[in-house]
Structure 1
């Protein structure tokens, strides 16, 4: 499993949506959960699979009309890494918010 080289907000949202699902989920549900466009979500899902975080398969529900759905789910290692990454980024965001709240204006003129 390769590390994610560039962790963006949309990537974290896709990871979070997959973690929240009860099992394999299809891309449109991830799009709805994140509020991100398909052109953002599907490339992230593809990268996650290429890096070994997820695997996908085609839904073979013959009773359902319409195009087949591609189902995405974490690998065992991918699920662990995703939970750690989402948790760590959430902790960092909360720490940054607390730190940002501690800065107070001094009302002193800026020295030139």
Structure 2
């Protein structure tokens, strides 16, 4: 498994969706749950797969109508790293919230 190097908000969002389910997720479902555009999510999923964080396979549900779905799931190592990445991102978000300057009451003129 390779380190990701650059980890932005979209990466964290996708990792949180994958961590939040014990079942594989398909691309469009991830797009809807993250609110991120397909032009961000699909390249990100490809990058995660190449790095060994995610594996994918085609859905084999022959009863379902429509095009086949590509299903994504975190690898065991990917899941461990995703937990760390998401916890670190949550910590940064918490620090930004706490360090935001307090609003000052207007001074009467």
Q: TM-score, normalised by structure 1?
A: 0.86
Task: Provide the residue aligned with 1:2 in structure 2.
Answer: 2
Task: Provide the residue aligned with 1:63 in structure 2.
Answer: 63
Where 1:83 maps in the other structure, the secondary structure is helix
Regions of 4+ moved over 4 Å? none
Unaligned runs of 5+ in 2: 105-109
Alignment of 1:32-111 (within 5 A): 32-101=32-101
Q: CA deviation at 1:92?
A: 1.7
Task: Provide the residue aligned with 1:25 in structure 2.
Answer: 25
Unaligned runs of 5+ in 1: 105-112
Query: Radius of gyration: which is bigger?
Result: 1
Task: Provide the residue aligned with 1:108 in structure 2.
Answer: none
Task: Provide the residue aligned with 1:110 in structure 2.
Answer: none
Task: Count how many residue pairs are aligned between Structure 1 and Structure 2.
Answer: 104
Q: CA deviation at 1:64?
A: 1.1
Across the aligned residues of Structure 1 and Structure 2, the Cα RMSD in angstroms comes to 1.6
Distance 1:46 1:98 in 2: 35
Q: CA deviation at 1:52?
A: 0.3
Where 1:101 maps in the other structure, the secondary structure is coil
Where 1:93 maps in the other structure, the secondary structure is helix
Distance 2:48 2:8 in 1: 13
